[in-house]
Structure formats: C-alpha cells, structure tokens
Amino acid sequence: MVAKEPSANQTPAPRADAVPKDAAAVVLVRGEGEGSEVYWARRGERMAFLGGFYAFPGGQRDAADGETPVDSCDDAELAAMISCAARELFEETGVLAARGADSLTRGQIDSLLDDLSSERMTFAVLLAHYGLRLDARDFTFVGRWVTPPFSPRRFDTLFFLVRCPRKQEPRVRTVEFDEGGWTNARAAYGLWLRSEILVAPPVLHAIKTLADGAADAPDDLVRRFLSVPQARRERVRRIEFTPGFTCFPVRTPTKPPATHTNAYVIGHEDFVVVDPGSPYEDEQAALAEYVDELIAGGRALREIVLTHHHPDHVAGVEPLRAHLGGGVRVAAHRLTADALADSVRVDRFIEEGDRVELAGEPSLRLRAMHTPGHTRGHLSFYEERTQTLVVGDNIVGLGSVLIEPPEGSVRDYLASLGRYRQLLPDVRVLFGGHGAAMANPRAKIEEYIAHRLEREANILKAVREGASTPREIVGRVYTDVSVKLHAMAERAVLAHLEKLEEDALVSRAGEGRYAATGAATS
Ligand SMILES: [Zn+2]
C-alpha cells in the first residue's frame, strides 16, 4: 500500500489506531506436572482475523456479561470479564466452568448450550436456572494483552487459567475453529520452534511458560505468566510469528485501514531488516533500538532489504543507516533503485533467483522472486526450510492491495500471484507489508486471485453495459467501497482497463472513454 507521497518537509500526522475491544480468553489445562496438557484450536482458514493460527478459546465481551454474578470477586469489571471468559469457553468448547456443573448430565449441558447459542436465554439466566455459580477462584488471571495497533481488529484481552472440570471434555463447537485438541505444552512449543504452526504472542508466551515448568507451585506459574511487561498491557512491539522472522510494525502514513507498515527482522545470527518504512522519529528510534540490541548481542546486520519503493516502506531506510554509522548496505531490485534514485541509495541489486544467505543456528536462505504487479520492481522472498514467503505489498494481512498505473499492472500482478500459488503446498505462512502474518496461505492466495478476476469480470461487464469512463465504472462495480475511496478505485479501474485493452476486450473510445470490443457488445 502507499499513501499520497508526502512532500519533503511535511509528513502527514498519523491517523488514530483502532480502539481495542474488551475480550477474554481461557488457558484450559488438565493433568499435573510433566503430563499436563493445554487445550488449543486452529482458527478457520477463512477467518479474517488470524485465520489458520492456533489459539485459545475466547472472544469479545458482550453487553450481558456484566449481569452474571461471580462469587469471590468484588470487582465488577473483573467479574464481567470472568463471565465473558466462562461464556466464550462454553460456547466454543462446551466446557462449563461453573460450580454445580458436575451434577448435570451431558444432555443437560447440551441443551444449555443450545439455549445459549440460540439466544433463548442469557448466560446469567441459564446459570441461575440450573443453580450454577461462577467462582473467581476457578479463574486465575494470567495476563492482559493488547493486540498491536497494526491490526484494525484489536482486542484488550484478559487471559484466565482454568482447570478443566472433571468429566467434561472440550470439543470444537464453533465455526471459528477448524479443529482443536489437548496438547502437551512442550510439544506445542516444539511445533512452533519447527515453524509448523503460527500463534499470536500471548499464546506463544503461554505455551512457553507452561513448557518451562507446569509443575511449579501455582503462584510461581502465575508469576512467570505475568513476568513479561506485554502481559501487563505494555505494547507488543516485536512479534516473532515464527522463529527467525520477527515482525516489527512501525507507524506510517499509509493507506487505510492500515496505520502501520511491517518491518521484518529476519535471521538468527546474521540478519536483515526488511522495509524500515516509518518517517516518524519515535518509530525510527524504536526500530533502531531493537537493531542496536541485536548487534550488542553479537548478531550481525547483513543489509537492509527493500520489497519495493513506496514511501511507507522506505522512509526509515536512510535514518536507520545513519543511526548505524552509515556503513550498512541497502539491497533492492534495480527498478526499485531507479524509482528511489533521489531519496535512497541502493548499494546492491537483487534479481530474480538471487539468494540471501543468513548464517546462524539454524541458517536461513531467502530466495528472491521478482514479483511485479503492485510496483514494477517488487520483490518477494521465499525461505525453504521454514516454508515462509515474504510477500511485501502483494498480499497484506488487512484491507486490499492497490494496483494503479503506471507502476501497477494487473497482468503482472496476476502472474505474481500465480507464482505464489505454484509454491503451494510448500508455504506455511505469508508475511505481508501490513497487518498480521497469514497462516492460511492457500486460502489467501486463492482469495486474492479470485477477487482480482471477479473485479475484472465486473469491470468488463460494466463496459459492455455502457459504462465508458473509470468514474462510471466505479459507480457500478465498487458498490462495496466508501465514496471517499472512489478516486483510488478509479485508478484501480484504469489498471484493469489497461489489461482488458491488451487482451483486446475493450478499446479506447476517445478521451478517457472506453468501449467493449468484439461480438460480446450488447
Ligand atoms: Zn506499496
């Protein structure tokens, strides 16, 4: 994505980040010591928020959560969040963590769940009806995490450790999850270390904490859960979605709904910084501090790598280089270097098929792919061992990608998406220029291709039905896009018309006007 180019001395003020919504999640455990297990589930491939990620049961607070009485708790807010946690756990897994529930039959629990999900009764009414009580002592607070502002869907989530009540067995009860099950925390952490799964930072922290010693005294376990400042609402800045790939979102004047651009720090010993894009000094300083820390720890910055030339991806390059004493090389595609001739010095060209070898334990090898479409010089990077694909702005974790002439080309873009598709099934994760990592590469890539082809078909149909200018076409086709974004949509339509013209399906019919060609004309 790219915002309107800021003039040299006037960087636009950052837009407000999305306000986090209250939510609660449950770290459901069973068993003791080494043999203890935690329940997790994989979010559906097609979920817009963290699709394909492993997660704990949980969700957003609803208005009625404050109505449920909670014993042993004199804080009304905490009580509402415990009620939210219990309700979400029940709705999503069928586990009812209420006192008295062990006297219910499976059939009664099922009918209770049915009454709740059909909204015949609120959770509070149901509990009262069956004489059940929530008790705060069954919900151990183990952290409060806030989704970083790089996502337009943000949650301020309270995590509670809950022992699975005897005789109850969790089972996926929601379309949000594809599958779920008990896992030993050490095994779960092992899956993450081998880059086989993706989890959000609080879930990673939880499985790590449990893996490090679930046998500890309960107080000790809670202390370790709360030992990181992010578990006490401090901002999560470094998101290690998969080992060796740390996402460091920085605030940028980018295109809505994004407010941030992802910089990536990739590598274990040798590392590269990809797309340091913030023009804001505080954000540049935060990234520089992280890089300093890595270097102080004995790691070596190989170079700064650019996916493409848009200002929201490169505005922090020269400041970072200057901060590091000027000696760091910048590498990009030749066409990106050309586009940046006046603002960023590119020292090394990266071409299709080039490899960036990063020594370390384990080593990483990024294979460059020239993937034009969003811009002519756009690069992507594929890492074979971790099956990771860095896709820059060709696919993003939120919003959609703008393809506009003259840099953007729908034909090239579809070809680049087609190359990503060819890499499947050897891709586990996509790292985009904005938003969270994507643990559902197949669904994402197919969705992007389908979306583009559908737009093209609709634009062609609009022209065949008589719409002749980009404005008229936008009016008919972009009915899902707010009027504020219509100017941007018109440029996207132009990119499509360019391809349709090359395909000889439309032709120019005078100044800024287009007409359908061939037999299909109505
Ligand atoms: Zn861009």
DSSP string over 350-400: --TT-EEEE-SSS-EEEEEEE--SSSTT-EEEEETTTTEEEEETSS-SSS-
Distance 432 CA to ligand 1 centre (A): 10
- What mean pLDDT, rounded, does the chain reach? 92
Q: Give residue 389's pLDDT band: very low, low, confident or very high (50, 70, 90).
A: very high
Say whether pLDDT at 17 is over 90. no
Distance 129 CA to ligand 1 centre (A): 56
Distance 505 CA to ligand 1 centre (A): 28
Distance 247 CA to ligand 1 centre (A): 17
Say whether pLDDT at 214 is over 70. no
pLDDT for the residue numbered 6: 41
Q: What are phi and psi of 260, to 5 degrees?
A: -135, 155
Contact 89, 160 (CB under 8 A): no
Distance 502 CA to ligand 1 centre (A): 24
Distance 107 CA to ligand 1 centre (A): 54
Distance 141 CA to ligand 1 centre (A): 41
**Share above pLDDT 90 across residues of the chain, in percent, rounded to a whole number:** 81
Distance 436 CA to ligand 1 centre (A): 16
This prediction has a pTM of: 0.92
Distance 380 CA to ligand 1 centre (A): 13
pLDDT for the residue numbered 14: 67
Contact 276, 310 (CB under 8 A): no
The CATH code of the domain at 239-439 is 3.60.15.10
pLDDT for the residue numbered 5: 43
- The 10s digit of each residue's pLDDT in 155-168 is 999 999 999 998 89
What is the distance between the alpha carbons of residues 193 and 90, in angstroms, rounded to a whole number?
Answer: 31
Say whether pLDDT at 385 is over 50. yes
Number of other CB atoms surrounding residue 211 within 10 Å: 17
What is the distance between the alpha carbons of residues 263 and 273, in angstroms, rounded to a whole number?
Answer: 7
What is the distance between the alpha carbons of residues 371 and 418, in angstroms, rounded to a whole number?
Answer: 10
Distance 412 CA to ligand 1 centre (A): 15
Closest residue by Cα to residue 306 from 330, 285, 286 = 330
Question: Ligand 1 (ion): which residues have CB within 5 A?
Answer: 2, 310, 393
Helix axis angle for 441-464 and 470-477, nearest 10°, is 120
Distance 277 CA to ligand 1 centre (A): 10
Amino acid at position 87, single letter: R
Distance 115 CA to ligand 1 centre (A): 48
pLDDT for the residue numbered 216: 67
CA dihedral (286, 288, 289, 292) in degrees, to 10, reads 170
pLDDT for the residue numbered 9: 45
- The 10s digit of each residue's pLDDT in 269-303 is 999 999 999 999 999 999 999 999 999 999 999 99
Distance 408 CA to ligand 1 centre (A): 10
Superfamily of domain 21-231: Nucleoside Triphosphate Pyrophosphohydrolase (3.90.79.10)
Say whether pLDDT at 7 is over 60. no
Q: Where are the domains of the chain?
A: 21-231, 239-439, 456-516
pLDDT for the residue numbered 10: 54
- SS3 track for 290-359: HHHHHHHCCCEEEEEECCCCCHHHHCCHHHHHHHCCCCCCEEECHHHHHHCCCCCCCCEECCCCCEEEEC
Distance 48 CA to ligand 1 centre (A): 21
Distance 374 CA to ligand 1 centre (A): 7
Distance 317 CA to ligand 1 centre (A): 15
Contact 452, 412 (CB under 8 A): no
Distance 313 CA to ligand 1 centre (A): 7
Closest residue by Cα to residue 436 from 25, 155, 228, 189 = 155
Mean pLDDT for 123-138 is 95
Helix axis angle for 470-477 and 486-502, nearest 10°, is 110
Q: How far is CA 23 from CA 144, 146, 282, in A?
A: 10, 10, 29
Helix axis angle for 76-93 and 106-117, nearest 10°, is 110
Residue with the two structure tokens 């953007």:
408
Distance 32 CA to ligand 1 centre (A): 50
